[in-house]
Amino acid sequence: MSNDAKKRLYVGAEASGKTTLAIRDARKEKLLLILDLNRQDSLARGSHVVVSYQDVRQAKKALLQTFSNIDRRKKYHVTWQIPKDMRAQDALDFAIRVLNAIGGGALLIDETESFIPALGKLSDSVRIVAKRGRHINPMPLYMTVQKPTELNHVVRNNVWTTAYFKLFEAGAIDFFAKQSALFIKKVEAVNMLKSLKEFEYILIERNKEPKKMKKIKKT
């Protein structure tokens, strides 16, 4: 699978199952950094290290130390619980620079619209990762959102695979309908979403017809 194919978006309402699937997919990566704004147990569970300092300077130093002298032959997963006083955009930029410095790795970004907002200016490092995916340090992206319309268009336009769980937000439903427009009419798309039960989802790969997937297991 190419790194472009590993730019994945998981869309759904709160507790819909999107984060569960994102974690399941991302945990297959050898080197993974998880960005967590809300200190969720599900994002920390299974990680080798959880960096949770509240002081911004101390948190950044700890993250750097965590990735220094790692053995890239072994699986290594880190959850970074972002300090409350640190802007999400700054945390993402720093995380990308840390991974670039060690030769690349995968990112799981929970609540991505907070890290890469629609109206926010992208840093150079974020833009490169979002647009290219196969730059010198490959960086697969696993991103969860509740409202894709609040996510920066550069990221939205370069996602290869999107998983849609149960949606209640009108903008998200319209976004799904537009992504499906080559294959099904808007009414069909809306009905397809409405038919979803808890933890079921619809998968859309670029230039492919939407597929309804089996219910995933809760964790």
Distance CA 124, CA 130 (A): 10
Residue 168: domain span: 4-213
Q: Is pLDDT above 70 for 3? A: no
Distance CA 219, CA 215 (A): 13
Q: Rounded mean pLDDT of 88-98?
A: 95
Instruction: Look up residue 106 and give its two tokens.
Output: 């995968």
Note the pLDDT of residue 60.
96
Q: Rounded mean pLDDT of 164-174?
A: 84
Sequence-distant (6+) residues with CB within 8 A of 177 are 186, 189, 190
Tell me the CATH number at 140.
3.40.50.300
Note the pLDDT of residue 19.
96
Note the pLDDT of residue 2.
46
CB 94 within 8 A of CB 63: yes
Query: Is residue 123 a part of any domain in this protein?
Result: yes
The domain total for the chain is 1
CB 80 within 8 A of CB 113: no
CB 103 within 8 A of CB 29: no
Note the pLDDT of residue 219.
67
Query: Which neighbouring-strand residues pair with 51?
Result: 80
Q: Is pLDDT above 70 for 145? A: yes
CB 36 within 8 A of CB 172: no
Distance CA 79, CA 19 (A): 14
Share of the chain above pLDDT 70, in %: 94
Please give the model's pTM, rounded to 2 decimal places: 0.92
Query: Is residue 189 a part of any domain in this protein?
Result: yes
H helical segments located in 116-160: 124-131, 153-156
Query: Is residue 101 a part of any domain in this protein?
Result: yes
Query: Is residue 219 a part of any domain in this protein?
Result: no
Q: Rounded mean pLDDT of 118-134?
A: 80
User: Parallel, antiparallel, or unpaired: how do β-strands 141-145 and 106-109 relate?
Assistant: parallel
Q: Rounded mean pLDDT of 4-21?
A: 88
Band the pLDDT of 138: cuts 50, 70, 90. low
The single residue listed with the structure tokens 């998981």 is 10
Cα torsion 211, 131, 139, 16 to 10°: value is -40
Sequence-distant (6+) residues with CB within 8 A of 205 are 5, 160, 161
Give the Cα-Cα-Cα angle 190, 193, 194 (nearest 5 degrees). Answer: 85
Note the pLDDT of residue 215.
92
Query: Is residue 176 a part of any domain in this protein?
Result: yes
DSSP code of 139?
-
Query: Is residue 66 a part of any domain in this protein?
Result: yes
- Cβ neighbours, 10 Å, residue 197: 7
Residue 183 one-letter amino acid: F
Note the pLDDT of residue 134.
47
Share of the chain above pLDDT 90, in %: 57
Query: Is residue 218 a part of any domain in this protein?
Result: no
Low-confidence winner among 66-75, 92-101, 109-118 (lowest mean pLDDT)? 66-75
Average pLDDT, the chain: 89
